[in-house]
Amino acid sequence: MSHDHEHFMREAIALSAQNMKDNTGGPFGAVVVKDGKIVGRGSNKVTSSNDPTAHAEVVAIRDACRNLDDFSLAGCEIYTSCEPCPMCLSAIYWARLDKVYFANTQHDAAEIDFDDRFLYEQVALPKEGRSLPSVPLLRDEALQVFKEWQAKTDKIPY
């Protein structure tokens, strides 16, 4: 692995360490890189922002999108101090990042009480088998909006 990769991972790890010291969230950090430059930084802000989605990767993705003025991060890579949880992995796919580099594993995170195994298991189950009830409601009304979107000529596809 090149020294650049190690440099960017050390930046993510430094963000995780500083975040822990600042007591603004869990020990997680991430950076988004494009063309050899950091374009987004993030650390876990769940407890300080009262936002359960403010994981380091999501914060870094939001920062990179703001800085690049684009909702697509195609052509970018993310370096994260820990293997992404299911939510962050989904966000990485939605952002269209090219590659993920991670340091700690999901098993390392579980060892310090950040265990995502339940989420991985739940996502893999059919809706009917999940512990969170999921109830369809007013589909016909919602489908009308989808039909309008499909016919819309000035939409921005993503």
The catalytic residue positions are 57
Q: Cα–Cα distance between 51 and 45 in angstroms, integer?
A: 7
| Amino acid making up residue 143 | L
Cα distance between the two ends of the chain: 33
Residue 65 vs residues 18, 30, 45, 59, 100: alpha-carbon distances, Å:
23, 14, 18, 10, 17
